[in-house]
């Protein structure tokens, strides 16, 4: 199909058009000469995208990370090459550890100067590889829509996290007639029914079951439903590092936090339990068994790591064993047995 000549755009214009397609309304940056074409395109779209000019790249990256954490949409940060990218690495690392959707766009040296030690040249694919879900460089202007769509998809699908894209400056000034991509759609995994039966069996047979809640994706509704289920079944709930607000701290079921410096009594309770369910927390084993106070102890607990998106877990048609419950978390979280008013295990009591 021939694309009309009126569709011709520079790489910078094409990139900003893709950001608009994917719903961007705010971005954060420290301006730099390596991506002036993008800044010009953002100025043209100033009525649709609010651009925040930060004083430091670390601040811009932290703002983008906070935006992603608060909205669930990728926070966009734009920085120049070299020191700018190095400073922004702080926010990328935070987004990676906190599972926050974020996209960092870095101005890069021209393609004809690659691998010649050009001024402030760095291979960002190697630099950000260990702390990003995906790090890439757009070398072909016509593929900008493909890369941007993939960046949004990767940043928000499965376990959210940061994506880094390097933008050679001559690629951004090049004119192309490439078409636009369609708006991204996040993808989340669905748990297998057989897994529910195994988790239910572990919880029903546990003498001292405990839930460790953490990770991203918790809405107010999901938190309330988790609390209802825990209180109906007499289950203690601890939270992981930086996730203390996942569970109401005033609830009688709240057992404190099991982060980097949780109370020794809570850590001891965690180690002695034989039915620990970790809801959406990648580092549960590390935080529960590798703390300073626990390095010499052998953990005998049985862990169930539920690495799922909360909204998928609450979808009745995907998770409920009893169609009459309609996927209500209080009655049927993750397809587990419904509370009958008296749990199979002894009440956990209060953890001092």
Torsion of CA 30, 34, 37, 42, to 10 degrees: -10
Instruction: Indicate if 172 and 202 belong to the same structural domain.
Output: no
- At 288 the pLDDT is 34
**What's the whole-number mean pLDDT along residues 202-213?**
83
- At 117 the pLDDT is 76
Instruction: Indicate if 300 and 152 belong to the same structural domain.
Output: no
**Over pLDDT 90: what percentage of the chain?**
48
Instruction: Indicate if 172 and 217 belong to the same structural domain.
Output: no
| Confidence check: pLDDT of 313 > 80 | no
Lowest mean pLDDT among 202-211, 253-262, 333-342: 333-342
| Confidence check: pLDDT of 318 > 70 | no
Cβ atoms within 10 Å of 12's Cβ, excluding its own = 25
- At 28 the pLDDT is 98
Domain span at residue 208 reads 193-335
- At 328 the pLDDT is 36
**What's the whole-number mean pLDDT along residues 278-300?**
39
**What's the whole-number mean pLDDT along residues 272-294?**
42
| Confidence check: pLDDT of 309 > 50 | no
Give the predicted TM-score (pTM) of the model. 0.73
The band of 233, judged by pLDDT with boundaries at 50, 70 and 90, is confident
CATH number of the domain enclosing 53: 3.40.50.970
Lowest mean pLDDT among 44-58, 59-73, 96-110, 201-215: 201-215
CATH number of the domain enclosing 306: 3.40.50.1220
Q: Whose CA is closest to 152, among 291, 316, 19, 17?
A: 19
Instruction: Indicate if 280 and 200 belong to the same structural domain.
Output: yes
Task: Domain count for the chain, please give it.
Answer: 2
| Confidence check: pLDDT of 265 > 50 | yes
Q: Which residue has the higher pLDDT, 339 or 2?
A: 2
CA separation for the pair 172, 162 (Å, rounded): 22
- At 6 the pLDDT is 62
Q: How distant, in Å, are the alpha carbons of 7, 26, 52, 131 from that of 58?
A: 36, 17, 13, 15
pLDDT by residue (tens digit) across 52-88?
Answer: 999 999 999 999 999 999 999 999 999 999 999 999 9
Instruction: Indicate if 23 and 53 belong to the same structural domain.
Output: yes
Q: Is residue 72 part of a domain?
A: yes
Lowest mean pLDDT among 57-71, 226-240, 277-291: 277-291
| Confidence check: pLDDT of 203 > 60 | yes
Instruction: Indicate if 126 and 246 belong to the same structural domain.
Output: no
Calculate the average pLDDT of the chain. 77
- At 286 the pLDDT is 34
| Contact call for residues 213 and 254 (beta carbons, < 8 A) | no
Q: Whose CA is closest to 101, among 189, 160, 61, 159?
A: 160
Instruction: Indicate if 156 and 90 belong to the same structural domain.
Output: yes
Instruction: Indicate if 158 and 209 belong to the same structural domain.
Output: no
- At 349 the pLDDT is 38
């Amino acid at each position: 199909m021939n694309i009309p000549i009126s569709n011709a755009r520079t790489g910078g214009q094409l990139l900003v058009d893709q950001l608009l397609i994917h719903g961007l309304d705010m971005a954060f940056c420290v301006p730099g000469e390596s991506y002036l074409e993008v800044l010009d395109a953002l100025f043209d779209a100033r009525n649709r995208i609010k651009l925040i000019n930060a004083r430091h790249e670390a601040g811009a990256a932290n703002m983008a990370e906070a935006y992603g954490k608060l909205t669930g949409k990728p926070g966009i940060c734009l920085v120049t090459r070299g020191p700018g990218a190095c400073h922004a690495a702080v926010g990328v690392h935070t987004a990676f550890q906190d599972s926050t959707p974020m996209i960092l766009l870095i101005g890069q040296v021209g393609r004809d100067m690659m691998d010649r030690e050009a001024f402030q040249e760095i291979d960002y694919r190697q630099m950000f590889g260990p702390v990003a879900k995906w790090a890439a460089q757009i070398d072909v202007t016509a593929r900008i829509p493909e890369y941007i769509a993939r960046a949004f998809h990767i940043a928000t699908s499965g376990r959210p996290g940061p994506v880094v894209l390097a933008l050679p400056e001559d690629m951004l000034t090049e004119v192309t007639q490439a078409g636009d991509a369609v708006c991204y759609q996040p993808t989340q995994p669905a748990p297998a029914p057989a897994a529910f039966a195994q988790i239910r069996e572990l919880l029903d047979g546990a003498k001292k079951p405990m839930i460790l809640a953490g990770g991203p994706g918790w809405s107010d509704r999901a938190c309330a439903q988790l609390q209802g289920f825990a209180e109906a079944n007499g289950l203690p709930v601890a939270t992981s590092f930086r996730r203390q607000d996942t569970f109401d701290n005033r609830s009688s079921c709240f057992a404190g936090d099991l982060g980097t410096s949780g109370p020794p009594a809570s850590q001891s309770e965690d180690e002695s339990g034989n039915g620990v369910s970790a809801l959406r927390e990648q580092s549960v084993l590390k935080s529960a068994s590798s703390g300073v106070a626990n390095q010499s102890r052998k953990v005998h607990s049985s862990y169930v790591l539920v690495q799922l998106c909360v909204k998928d877990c609450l979808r009745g048609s995907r998770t409920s064993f009893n169609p009459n419950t309609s996927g209500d978390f209080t009655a049927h979280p993750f397809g587990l047995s419904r509370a009958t008013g008296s749990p199979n295990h002894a009440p956990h009591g209060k953890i001092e």
